[in-house]
Amino acid sequence: MQYLHIKQVSIYKMQLPLYEPFIISLGPQNNADNILIVIHTKEGITGYGECSPYMSINGETIDTCCIVAQYLAKALLQMNALAIEECIAAMNKVIYGNNSIKSAFDMALYDIAAQHSDMPLYRFLGGNKNKEIVTDMTVGLNDPDKMAADTAKFKAAGFQFIKVKLGQTTANDVARIKAIRKKIGDAIPLRIDANQGWNTPTAINTLQALEQFNIEHCEEPIARWNYTELPAVRNATTIKIMADESCCDSHDAARLAQLKACDYFNIKMGKSGGIFEALKIISVAENAGIKLQIGGFMESRLATTAFVHFAYASDAIVHFDFDTPLMIAEDPVIGGMKYLTNGVIEIDDIPGIGAGIDKAYLKKPEAVIS
């Protein structure tokens, strides 16, 4: 194996404003509080990675990520950036968990490796551009009229798939979907996400009540720790179930597959710790006949570009939740993914991830150079 020496790691806090607060059952978010990792090698190849910590899901914040990143950077200095598995092991030896910040390092390492191989990331991962990537658009949790108006706006903009945040009482959540259907009709399938907001009886009652409304699937209906009851929820409804917060790594995926708990896994790099572990989740899913969605937290177009590359890595990946950059009011990303019409996404065939950050922007945020 060739050697690319990691000589420097730059850590930036990227606090990007949203157009409006984004609300889910776990609480509101007012900004995209993200961390940018830039790994420099002695040989001149630079890799970019980004994470978007979510306190109520992965237990990390922009501040904890910045501190932990310094420990991880120290461990990786002088290591071979191409030895990704060894680098992942070194980070795991430093600290348990903290998968959000680890995912940013992982992404930067894969960016370097793909550039070194002179391949776009999706080809480096063994993928092909054999499908159209079409993102959904997400309606945040709010009162029924507001949610119906937002859904109508997204339909008018041409989005083919709409995701709706739920997770409160059966009466309130059914009222939300009724208002949305009254506003936009029945043609566009709705994807719903309770973000663990229901207990088991409420999940079953709500899902059964929503079966008449052309619901494509439901993400994480009950608490992540209560995954052993997920099969009962799945068997009680015709709406397909997607595991999200309960499916962080390949061990979680294997347990869920064994329990026949869900129809889909939702892979997010901030849960898995990055691409290296996410590839193992794909393997579990393919062996179990489970389909996949690739999603994210509140990442900018930089990380989302990497997610799009990853989405080409397996035919089992059939759903794409890549709308968060559309919610961010500031875009410092150079290159990267492009939104076309009707939610269609395109990436260029250039080596690596193919995205970076405007150097002028990097003069603004708080930074640590290791």
Give the per-residue pLDDT at 229. Answer: 98
Give the per-residue pLDDT at 354. Answer: 98
Smallest CA-to-CA distance from 320 within 297, 344, 296, 295 is with 295
Which value, in Å, is the radius of gyration of the alpha carbons in the chain? 20
Give the per-residue pLDDT at 23. Answer: 73
What residues contact residue 300 under an 8 Å CB cut-off, 6+ apart? 14, 16, 32, 34, 50, 325, 328, 331, 332, 333
Using alpha carbons only, give the angle 227, 230, 232 rounded to the nearest 5 degrees.
140
Domain ranges, ordered by start, for the chain: 6-118+358-369, 123-356
Report residue 291: phi and psi, to 5°. Answer: -85, 165
**Residue 338 a catalytic site member:** no
**Residue 244 a catalytic site member:** yes
Which one is catalytic: 163, 268, 271, 291?
268
CATH class assigned to 123-356: alpha beta
**Residue 193 a catalytic site member:** yes
Which one is catalytic: 60, 150, 244, 252?
244
Which one is catalytic: 50, 219, 299, 323?
219
- Per-block average pLDDT, block size 10, for the chain (370 residues)? 93 92 74 95 97 91 96 98 98 97 98 98 97 96 96 96 97 98 94 97 98 97 98 98 98 98 98 98 98 96 98 98 95 97 97 96 78
**Residue 150 a catalytic site member:** no
pTM: 0.95
Q: What is the SS3 assignment for 329?
A: coil
**Residue 42 a catalytic site member:** no
- 134, β-bridge pairs: 344
Give the per-residue pLDDT at 56. Answer: 83
Fold match flag (6-118+358-369 vs 123-356): no
Which one is catalytic: 50, 106, 193, 252?
193
State the fold for domain 6-118+358-369: Enolase-like; domain 1 (3.30.390)
Give the per-residue pLDDT at 170. Answer: 98
